[in-house]
Structure 1
Amino acid sequence: MVSSIIRRTLASGASAVLLAAGAVPSEAHADTADGPAITQAVFFGDSLTDAGTYGFRFTTMPGRTWAQHVAERLGQSEEPNEHVTSYGDVYQGKPGLPGPGGLNYAEGGARANSAYSTVSDDPEGTPISTVVQVDRYMRQHGSFTPNQVVTLYVGTNDVAYDYDPTKNPELAQSLRDDVSAGEDVMVSARARVQTAAVDEAQTARTILDNGAHRLLVFKLFDTSLDPWFRTDAARRYVGELGAVYNQTLLASLPPDPRIQIVDTEAFVNDLLQNADRYGFTHGANEDACAKPDQDYCDASQMKSPDADRTYVFAAAEHMTTHANELLGEYVLRQIGLAE
């Protein structure tokens, strides 16, 4: 309920006021002196951006992800770049299938530069990392163009990787039992996410080196707010690793004026602090899906008929239809395309 929203929110009141007023720090504009107006977007990332590579979207279906709202505003295809025959083929080292060929390369489970599989390290197996996604775009299109905005939003799966019981069963269970990770575990985990963040920064360089004039790099929001993490130990674990990821990413990015940082952390905290304004009545660690740990849920599987509008989070680590709509509007404001 709203009381839990207030209890779990970590943002400062000043940030919430700035966001609610639309005064986004370091705001970019669609038509600038060093480039033409934006007419197309290219998306790289994970399930938070995925347009339906696996036949569904990681939200309250049939809702769309934020990237699809941006694509719609620009009048381009909202479809993913590739697809799979069956969700059972994912995480098995099997490559995806060509088409429908949209400019959304994001895939659920993607990491910055590693496979997400217990059976295969094949970089071409779904989900492909953002390194491979960018390479895929380059093979298909050759370069980026001045009229495009490119988005890069990854890192959540690198942060939470060992919380997945199929990846590190012992640690995953201990965190679920509310046993905090020891310092030796945290040293290794910090190093792992730092490597991933540096890899993301290198991917940003690759995008810029290949012609991009505008690149939006997304910070991670506080992963400990997600419903997947139900104990204090789990929330401390992912909360610290998310902060380490963001800090390393920001320190590793090149000082290039073509890069725009999207403060997704401030965005989510604003939704939680100003829940009434946005129509939310359920906030941190509350899942719109009736069953825990889902990848998505439809109207028959939600906690209430209006859960897609009244909850911020859904499907373990993701956002509801309404929250995705608001994130899409937030991104459009930052590039000067809000209606």
Structure 2
Amino acid sequence: MNKQRSTRAALVRFAQVATASAAFALLAACGGGGDDNNNSTPPGGVKLQVVSFGDSLSDVGTYAPVAAANFGGGRFTTNPGQVWVQNVAQYYGDTLAPAMTGGFGVPPTPQGGLGYAQGGSRVTNPIGIGHATTDPANYTQALTVPVVTQVSNYLSAHGSFNANQLVIINGGANDILFNLTAVQSGQMTPAAATAAIGKAAIDLAGVIGKVVQSGATHVLVSNVPDIGTTPQGMMSNAQTRALLSQASLGFNQALAAALTQSGLMSKVIYLDIVPPLANITANFAQFGFTVSNTGTGCNLQAMAAAAQKFGEPNPQAFATSLFCSPQTLTVAGADQTYMYADTVHPTTHLHALYAQTAEQTIAKSGLGK
């Protein structure tokens, strides 16, 4: 019983920090990935092993054992739906599983998968959303292993990348949220936040360079979506919404400039996700949605009410897609008819469209079909 209470308390702390950020912004050929054990040509036209690094947008289930067991859910979407990198992996004949699970009182446990992305992770700083300590051995909170360390962990286990892999990298959104939240709380000046966000973008370019130097020949880099156009941005005042969009644009410009100046832009497949998402938002009905960025597919109020009934001291902390399940959808089928699961994370349907955009971008590079 004490262990259960400790686990739930740790989850509360994670959700509290994530909710606080959301209030301002949204807030190796061997190893891991399955290949379905068949030699048929996959939809993508070429069979590839997928390796993924990043944050909650690409997290395939780091916290699933704890979140699913205690609340339902498991990924940052309309569970049990997949996130975009899982769809891309299937497109190329692979299955993407977590490299590690744990956190919230559960020791980090290697799982053998190649999905290294973790919800709450920043680019290089271990102090992520929901992990307030620099002690990497502290697993009482979210793990939030930074992207640079995710790559190092992969290389320690597998030595190098190879031409039969597709390496997917995203990151930066949590650096934006972390620094802008610090501005709101008076802990950082706007100028310092802008500089920190720009540095995170340059650091991410450095991580990408390490991946390329370590043998990767197919590297998909996704930039940061426009945070100002998420439901959380839309629910904010005009000034805050503009600031979120400006910070997202600034990060993306700094990342693209760093990749170009270093010569890496010609060595990677660059996915500028902002225009496609803007098009989907503007024409949401044509893409099968009934609600765009003005609502959430997960019934966040009901989730908070259920947590309150269960006796949680901060029930609102559980109003996040990590704990979302079919039983907590706003309406039946919301995983397909809403664009967003919570105030920042895509639903199953939007993740699928994100994946399709990625696949089209990869195809234009000459890989596969």
Normalised by the length of structure 1, the TM-score is: 0.78
Q: 1:215 aligns with which of 204, 219, 225?
A: 219
User: What is the aligned partner in structure 2 of residue 326 from structure 1?
Assistant: 353
Aligned residue runs from structure 1 range 236-247, under 5 A: 236-247=242-253
Residue 104 of structure 1 pairs with residue 131 of structure 2: no
Is the CA contact 2:78–2:321 (under 8 Å) kept in the aligned structure 1?
no
Q: Does 1:195 align with 2:182?
A: no
How far has the Cα of 1:285 moved from its partner? 4.2
Aligned amino acid, residue 294 of structure 1: T
Q: Matched residue of 1:282: which SS?
A: coil
Moved more, 328-337 or 215-224: 328-337
Which one of 329, 335, 338 corresponds to residue 362 of structure 2? 335
Cα distance, 1:38 vs structure 2:
5.2
Is the 2:269–2:362 contact (alpha carbons within 8 Å) kept by the matching residues of 1? no
Distance 1:95 1:199 in 2: 28
Mark the runs of 5 or more structure 1 residues left unpaired by the alignment: 1-29, 32-36, 173-180
User: Please, which of 251, 255, 258 is the counterpart of residue 263 of structure 2?
Assistant: 255
Q: Report what 1:57 is aligned to.
A: 75
For the residues of structure 1 that align with 2:59 and 2:281, how far apart are their CA atoms?
A: 23
Asked if the contact 1:332/1:338 (under 8 Å) is kept, the reply is no
| Aligned residues: CA RMSD | 2.4
Deviations 1:208-240 (A, max 9, x none): 110011211111111011223321233222211
Contact 2:47 2:94 in 1 (8 A): no
Residue identity over aligned pairs, in percent, reads: 30
Among 60, 68, 76, the alignment partner of 2:94 is 76
Going from structure 1 to structure 2, the CA distance change for 1:119 and 1:317 (only over 3 Å counts) comes to same
Per-residue deviation, residues 91-139 of structure 1 (Å, max 9, x unmatched) = xxx862111x111110001111112156411356611010000001101
Aligned equivalent of 2:280: 271
Evaluate the alpha carbon distance shift between residue 314 and residue 96 of structure 1 in structure 2; reply closer, same or farther with a 3 A threshold.
Answer: same
SS where residue 300 of structure 2 aligns?
coil
Relative contact order higher in (CA < 8 Å, ≥ 6 apart): 1
Distance 1:295 1:281 in 2: 19
**Match for residue 141 of structure 1?**
158
Report the Cα distance in structure 2 between the residues aligned to 1:295 and 1:227, rounded to whole angstroms: 13
- Please report how far the alpha carbon of residue 162 of structure 1 lies from its aligned counterpart in structure 2 after TM superposition: 4.3
- The alpha-carbon distance between structure 1 residues 96 and 217, as it changes in their structure 2 partners (threshold 3 A), is same
- Correspondence 1:152 to 2:158: no
1:47 to 41, 56, 60: 56
Instruction: Kindly indicate whether residue 171 of structure 2 is the aligned counterpart of residue 171 of structure 1.
Output: no
Inter-CA distance 234–295: structure 2 relative to 1 (3 Å threshold): farther
Question: Measured at CA, do residues 231 and 145 of structure 1 come closer, stay the same or move farther in structure 2, by a change above 3 Å?
Answer: same
Counterpart-to-counterpart distance in 2, 1:124 and 1:190: 30
- In the alignment of these two chains, the number of paired residues is 285
1:151-205 Cα deviation digits (max 9, x unpaired): 11111111111455xxx4x826xxxxxxxx99x8321110110111111000011
Q: Distance in 2 between matches of 1:195 and 1:214?
A: 25
Which residue of structure 2 aligns with residue 294 of structure 1? 320
Tell me whether 1:130 sits opposite 2:134 in the alignment.
no
- Structure 2 distance, partners of 1:124, 1:199, is 23
Letter in 2 for 1:240: Q
Q: TM-score, normalised by structure 2?
A: 0.72
Q: Mark the CA change 1:306 to 1:133 in structure 2 (over 3 Å): closer, same or farther.
A: same
Which residue does 1:20 correspond to in 2? none
Q: Which residue pairs with 2:335 in the alignment?
A: 308
The alpha-carbon distance between structure 1 residues 65 and 135, as it changes in their structure 2 partners (threshold 3 A), is same
Residues of 1 paired with 2:343 and 2:157: CA distance? Answer: 33
Cα deviation code 1:252-282 (max 9, x no counterpart): 1132322111011112112112212211121
Q: 1: distance between equivalents of 2:357 and 2:88?
A: 10
Runs of 4+ in 1 over 4 A off after TM superposition: none
Deviation at 1:75, TM superposition (A): 2.8
> Whose helix proportion is higher, 1 or 2?
2
Distance 2:77 2:241 in 1: 21
Q: Take 2:137 and 2:248, find their aligned partners in 1: how far apart are those partners?
A: 26
Match of 2:240 in 1: 234
Once the two structures are overlaid, the 10-residue window that deviates more, 322-331 or 110-119, is 110-119
